[in-house]
Structure 1
Amino acid sequence: MVLVSFETFMQQLANGISIGSLYALIAIGYTMVYGILRLINFAHGDIFMMAAYFMIFSMVSFRLPWYVSIIIVIAFTVLLGVIIEKVAYRPLRNAPRMSIMISAIGVSFLLENLATYLFTGVPKGFPDIAFLTKAIRIGNISLTVATLLTPIITIILLYVVLFITNKTKIGMAMRASSVDFETARLMGININRVISTTFIIGSGLAAIGAVLWGSKYPSIYPLVGVMPGLKCFIAAVLGGIGNTTGAVLGGFILGMAEIMLVTFLPALTGYRDAIAFVILIVVLLVKPTGLLGEKVTDKV
């Protein structure tokens, strides 16, 4: 273990909170879809990837200002998420669960190969958003605006999602659907509308996450969403998949674990991605329902 200075520790702490916030933002989409459909949307990381490409073409090809581009990116990403739900998931809603999972994996591969065909496999530079990449010094610690804003944006969006799910009519329908899908349908809840709304929220959060991710890691390629997607899934499982607050908590924990591993054990830097899977194995062995998950009985 390497001893580090206070400044280095604080710098890495800020980085850990920032990357954990990004994981949390994307993990919300995983956990919301699972909460209602009991489906792991494996294409979620690739929706995140497509959002990053939308941002590149909005700012680079069409030369739109960043604040206009963000709105366009969110709109197109939401549209993509809704189309995926209508085309790949809705027709299989009454099929065995394995069928819809295979469909999700198929959509993931489709988006990755479509991106490779359309954009080539050569990494593209994410456009510089001067506002987000501006450096700020706090004593001897140097941070970007994106690093400081990401946790704040994540917490605000978490409260927005919680408000929607707990205080609105569509949110009540979401919670009813997550408890008993068939009974909610019999009670007159429009299941298609509920599920579409879930995909709209999840895809919108993925779009915002893609913009913040690109500002931090500006190299975008067709497989860029694979590892973040897996890590965000692990974050959702760690917090208790199906629990929105748990997904955010899991994201923060995972991000901090990664950064602190590199900080105190630099010899293990090459295993940074592996720590997420180690955490997943430990959670499944010790507490399969996650930190904030509730024990439920799967229906046959």
Structure 2
Amino acid sequence: MRRPKRSGPWLQRPKKKGELGGGPGRRPGPPDCLGGAVLLQQLFNGVTLGSLYALIAIGYTMVYGILRLINFAHGDIFMWAAYWMFFTVLLFRLPWWVGAILSVLFTAGMGWAIERIAYRPLREAPRISLLITAIGMSFLLEHIIIVLPWATGIQKPYPRPQFMTQIFQLGGARVQAVTVWVPIIAGACLIGLLFLLYRTKVGRGMRAIATDIEVTEMMGADINRIISYTFIVGSALAAVGGILWGCRYPALTYDMGVIPGWRAFTAAVVGGIGNVT
């Protein structure tokens, strides 16, 4: 008696490498997601994003190291820098480099004003009062952007210089020029900060206050002036980060500083928040 012909998936021929099945004209398998070009591209993206977070995290650690205050408004200062850049370049028709300088100056002045108006009167108050004030300043800075008629619903592209919009090939990967410039500019800012901390009188005062604020005051240092400089420097670095963030991710929203601010704060905690010596 003739046995019936058996059929089933267990009798099908083994699939060749890269086949997904389905008869003639089989599609090739998924691309190699760990190729050298992809890894190189992700390396550039990671270094760029880490550099931006570092510029924000420095402000957190400087303020906490001197005042033992977590400045929750710092991420919104970062956001305001991106908006200042938009206002100066697109609304007032200024060159990009002029707008960048003015944005850093405006944002540094904003940091000084926040310390002078919101934080200094509460310096001797309980820590919870400073914490609540910092959260309130964060909401205030965000909602000022919301109520400004020319700041909401922006349709114009974010101003970016020509040298940051170029795309070139590197090792098979398409690399945007901004992903190369961001780490370079961030590194230059870090070198400048180290020079300030270790080679200037203001920097030595910052390190002394971070070590012992009472002894520093007894030695005749102007505590208020040094703390103001701390907010100015931290805000200026956040401004550089905000401008570069806009060049890398050209979209402006009132809450664009919230997530980067929290991630930068996490990076500051992991890296040793408050250590400015």
TM-score normalized with structure 2 length: 0.85
Contact in 2 for aligned 1:52/1:210 (Cα 8 Å): yes
2:270 partner letter: L
SS of the aligned residue for 1:60 comes to: helix
1:150 aligns with 2:182: yes
Counterpart Cα distance in 1 of 2:243 and 2:60:
18
Q: SS at 2:140's partner residue?
A: helix
SS in structure 2 at match of 1:142: strand
Of 74, 97, 104, the residue aligned with 1:44 is: 74
Deviation at 1:243, TM superposition (A): 2.8
CA distance in 1, matches of 2:272, 2:127: 20
SS class of match (1:19): helix
Pair 1:241-2:273 in alignment: yes
1:70-219 superposed matches below 5 A: 70-118=100-148, 119=150, 121-122=152-153, 125-219=157-251
How far did residue 136 of structure 1 move?
2.2
Q: Unaligned 5+ residue runs, structure 1?
A: 246-300
Deviates more, 1:179-188 or 1:108-117: 179-188
> What letter matches 1:104 in structure 2?
A
Matched position secondary structure for 2:82: helix
| 1:232-290 deviations in Å (ceiling 9; x for gaps) | 10110010101359xxxxxxxxxxxxxxxxxxxxxxxxxxxxxxxxxxxxxxxxxxxxx
Contact 2:96 2:160 in 1 (8 A): no
**How many residue pairs align between the two structures?**
244
After TM superposition, give the deviation of residue 184 of structure 1 in Å. 1.2
- Partner SS, residue 168 of structure 2: strand
Matches within 5 A, 1:222-261: 222-243=254-275
What's the offset of the Cα at 1:149?
Answer: 1.4
Q: Would the aligned equivalents of 2:70 and 2:131 in 1 still touch at CA under 8 Å?
A: yes
Q: Which one-letter code corresponds to 2:230 in the other structure?
A: T
After the TM superposition, which parts of structure 1 deviate over 4 Å for at least 4 consecutive aligned residues? none
Contact 2:210 2:276 in 1 (8 A): no
Question: For the Cα contact (< 8 Å) 2:108–2:231, is it kept in 1?
Answer: yes
Aligned residue for 2:47? 17
Task: Pick which of 215-224 and 139-148 moved more.
Answer: 139-148
Mapped to 1, the partners of 2:211 and 2:74 lie a distance apart of 23
Matched letter for residue 57 of structure 2? A
Secondary structure at the residue paired with 2:39? helix
Larger radius of gyration: 2
Question: Could you tell me how far 1:95 is from its partner in structure 2?
Answer: 0.7
- Matched residues in 1 for 2:96 and 2:84: separation? 12
Per-residue CA deviation, residues 183-231 of structure 1 (Å, 9 max, x unaligned), is 2111111011111111111111111111110011101010111101111
Give the distance between the partners of 2:260 and 2:204, measured in 1 at CA: 30
Structure 2 CA distance for aligned equivalents of residues 152 and 243 of structure 1: 24
Q: Which moved more, 1:135-144 or 1:222-231?
A: 135-144
Task: Please name the residue that 2:35 is paired with.
Answer: 5
Pairwise CA RMSD: 1.5
Report the TM-score, using the length of structure 1 for normalisation.
Answer: 0.78
Shift of 1:121: 4.3
* Paired AA for residue 81 in structure 1: G
Q: Name the counterpart of 2:86.
A: 56
Alpha carbons 2:65, 2:276 under 8 Å: kept: no
Unaligned runs of 5+ in 2: 1-31
Residues 51, 207 of structure 1: 8 Å contact kept:
yes
CA drift of 1:139 comes to 3.2
